[in-house]
Structure 1
Amino acid sequence: MSNHADGRDTRWVAHRAKRRRELVEAALRAIRRHGPTVGMDDISAEAGTSKTVVYRHFGDRTGLYAAVVEAVDQRILDSLGAATAGRDATAENPLAIVASMVDAFLLLVEKDPDIYRFVVTRPLVDGPVEDDPVAGLSDRIGDQIARALEAHLRRQGRDSACATTWGHGLIGFVRAAADHWLSTDLARSRSDLVADVTSLFAPALAGPSPSAYATPTDARPQTADPRKVDQ
């Protein structure tokens, strides 16, 4: 009896997971059809079901939004991974890996601008979101870029301590550039935008260790001694 019940539970869990994926795909289609300001009525109609059913699987609109961001998150990470797959592990220039990853990110923005706008503008979310999925998305992409930079810097015999700072800083920079790019209706070509980003980071990636630019201790601003003020 217990084994039979466990089997039914397993099938039910698998069915619910499959149904959630189908509803997320329906939401993505609705966003592409109606734009980033899509509503729950549009999404449920695209899914061929009622809003009640959608809420049953995601809890509320924020739950559905988080599930959509998770799906987009995975697609971006897969694309970034594919951009670096098969590259020469002994390559001396990490700029090539950065250019490939930036291009992979911007390609998704170019192909699915309304999906990107939906993710960053949060039309289904009415208030603050606990465990912000967009921040989580940026963190995971930043971590992936940082790992690639760290590996390449180490192969070059350089200090890799800066990889985390560069990886997360780069994704923040690219996101800001992508937002502006969308506001201009993609007026500049993607290849030019990739060149803009990589040319800015090229000196750091090709130059000496970041420690070479550290501010000398004797050149840092000194805090005034409060005992000597107004004397």
Structure 2
Amino acid sequence: MELETRYEAEPGSVRPGGRTARVRAAVLRAAEDVLAEQGFAHLDLADVARRAAVGKTTVYRRWGTVANLVADLLADMAEQSVPRTETGSLLGDLTANARLVQRTLTDPRQVALFKAVIAAATWDTRTAQALRRFYDIRVNEWAPCVQQAIDRTEIPPDTDPREVIRAVSAPLYYRLLISGEVLDQAAADRAAAAAVAGARAGVYRRDGDRGSA
């Protein structure tokens, strides 16, 4: 799915080439640095411009607000994420998805960045919207793996693919943000296996269909 079909035109959302693309890349990298190092509260457009060696006027004209800058950063992250893996089985595909999430959430830079954005999303509406867009894009990227499993008759035909994908990452984010338990590959593999077992049992059938299993 192309991002432009999901992302309305806003400051910083245009995808031009040439020098403008280089400026955008430098600014987004600087914004990512600040978020990872200091958190959302310290994100300032003037400081980002300085770090990116870009004129303040350019940054203010293009993004306008910190919230718009974070939204563009999340959109870029979604576009740059590793594409889904197709192994020929639902367990193989979801295990690949879970391990990708696990690697991301245990990378020191990435985990600091995600924690900063998630924390900001609890009180900043614009950031919360951008974060939802980010995860919608990633869920939509992986949902076809579940549809392929439906087509192979591995799981019930009325299974909701998006719910299955969400079920894979939810326990991993719980470990990261709530329990503080070790987030290792074994945890990722268990999350994938549990999602597959649930899908096969009809747990993720669309609303109104679960009782007919």
Q: Fold conserved (TM > 0.5)?
A: yes
User: Aligned residue for 1:153?
Assistant: 150
**1:89-104 matches, cutoff 5 A:** 91=88, 93-104=89-100
1:29 CA displacement: 2.3
Query: Equivalent residue for 1:178?
Result: 173
Tell me whether 1:19 sits opposite 2:23 in the alignment.
yes
Determine if contact 2:68/2:126 at 8 Å carries over to the other structure: no
Q: What is the aligned partner in structure 2 of residue 120 from structure 1?
A: 118
Counterpart code for 1:15: R
For residue 195 of structure 2, what is the amino acid of its counterpart? F
Q: Which residue of 2 aligns with 1:73?
A: 78
CA apart distance, 1:207: 4.7
1:135 aligns with 2:139: no
Q: Which runs of 5+ in 1 are unaligned?
A: 1-11, 217-231
Evaluate the alpha carbon distance shift between residue 190 and residue 74 of structure 1 in structure 2; reply closer, same or farther with a 3 A threshold.
Answer: farther
Indicate if the aligned counterparts of 1:146 and 1:164 stay in contact, CA closer than 8 A.
Answer: yes
TM-score (norm 1): 0.67
Q: Report whether the alignment pairs 1:215 with 2:199.
A: no
Q: Is the 8 A contact 2:105 2:176 kept in 1?
A: no
Deviations, residues 74-100 of structure 1 (Å, cap 9, x unaligned):
233xx242xx15x3xxx3x41121111
Greater displacement, 65-74 / 46-55: 46-55
- Show structure 2 runs of 5+ residues with no match: 1-15
- State the 1:127 CA deviation: 4.3
Task: Pick closer, same or farther for the CA change 1:100–1:121 going to 2, 3 Å.
Answer: same
Offset at residue 130 of structure 1 (A): 9.0
Q: Tell me the TM-score normalised to structure 2 length.
A: 0.72
Q: Determine whether 1:33 maps to 2:37.
A: yes
* 1:158 Cα offset (Å): 4.8
Maintained 8 Å contact 1:20/1:57: no
Residue 115 of structure 1: how far off its partner (Å):
1.3
Do the aligned residues in 2 keep the contact of 1:29 with 1:46 (CA within 8 Å)? no
Inter-CA distance 200–16: structure 2 relative to 1 (3 Å threshold): same
SS of residue paired to 1:18: helix
* 2:8 match: none
| Distance in 1 separating the partners of 2:161 and 2:125 | 27
The runs of at least 4 aligned residues of structure 1 exceeding 6 Å deviation read: none
Q: Highest CA radius of gyration, 1 or 2?
A: 1
Contact preservation (8 Å) 1:139, 1:168: no
RMSD of aligned residue pairs (Cα, Å): 3.3
CA distance, structure 2, for counterparts of residue 208 and residue 70 of structure 1: 33
